């Protein structure tokens, strides 16, 4: 089982075996979830860019695309 150290500034390294299995790259996102038993679980996902979501949604009302892109980049809900 791979192990890592938690450094003084609360950072750690994702072991290379895990990065390879899940094809993790810089800017990928790790979601930390506490399950119903109180145990931590991790989920990995790719960061969505505006280019990724163009054409996948429709809006009933006009929106400011610059503000939308900023929210996406900050990881805010839209």
Domain boundaries, the chain: 1-47, 48-78
**78: exposed, middle or buried (C-beta count within 10 Å: 0-12, 13-18, 19+)?**
exposed
Q: What is the pLDDT of residue 17?
A: 95
Reported as a pLDDT band with limits 50, 70 and 90, residue 50 is confident
Architecture of domain 1-47: Ribbon (2.10)
Q: What is the pLDDT of residue 42?
A: 95
Higher pLDDT, 65 or 3: 3
Give the alpha-carbon dihedral of 34, 37, 40, 44, to 10 degrees: -70
Reported as a pLDDT band with limits 50, 70 and 90, residue 59 is confident
Within 8 A by CB and 6+ apart from 30, the residues are 14, 42, 43, 44
For residues 22 and 30, the answer to whether their CB atoms sit within 8 Å is no
Reported as a pLDDT band with limits 50, 70 and 90, residue 43 is very high
Q: What is the pLDDT of residue 54?
A: 77
């Amino acid at each position: 089982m791979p192990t890592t150290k938690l450094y003084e500034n609360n950072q750690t390294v994702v072991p290379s075996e895990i990065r390879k299995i899940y094809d993790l790259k810089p800017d990928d996102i790790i979601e930390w979830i506490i399950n119903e038993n109180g145990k931590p679980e991790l989920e990995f996902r790719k960061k969505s860019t505006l280019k990724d979501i163009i054409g996948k949604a429709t809006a009933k009302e006009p929106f400011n695309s610059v503000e939308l892109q900023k929210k996406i980049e900050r990881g805010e809900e839209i």
